[in-house]
Amino acid sequence: MIVSYEAQGWKIITQRAHGLLAGQICAHWKQTVQLEKWVEILIATAEHDDIFNEFERNPLIDGNGAPINFKETRFDPDCSTKLMDMALTKSRFIALLTARHIQFTHGSDPLAKSFITNLKKQEPKWIKEAGVTKKSVATAYELLEFCDAFSLLICQSQIPPEGRRVEISSGPDGTPYTLYQKEEAIIVEPWPFAVDSFSVTFEARTIKKLKFRSDEALRSKLKSSAVDIYHLQISNHSHKK
pLDDT digits over 136-153, tens only?
A: 999 999 999 999 999 999
Ranges of each domain in the chain: 2-235
**pLDDT computed for residue 240 by the predictor:** 53
**pLDDT computed for residue 130 by the predictor:** 97
Q: Are 215 and 59 in contact (CB under 8 A)?
A: yes
**pLDDT computed for residue 19 by the predictor:** 97
**pLDDT computed for residue 239 by the predictor:** 64
Within a 10 A sphere around the Cβ of 125, how many other Cβ atoms?
A: 10
Within a 10 A sphere around the Cβ of 96, how many other Cβ atoms?
A: 29
List per-block mean pLDDT (blocks of 10 residues) for the chain, which spans 241 residues.
92 97 96 80 94 90 95 90 96 98 94 97 98 95 97 95 94 94 95 96 96 97 96 85 49
Q: Which of 68, 95, 71, 69 lies closest to 83 in space, CA to CA?
A: 95
**pLDDT computed for residue 51 by the predictor:** 82
**pLDDT computed for residue 134 by the predictor:** 96
pLDDT digits over 189-205, tens only?
A: 999 999 999 999 999 99
Q: Are 177 and 168 in contact (CB under 8 A)?
A: yes
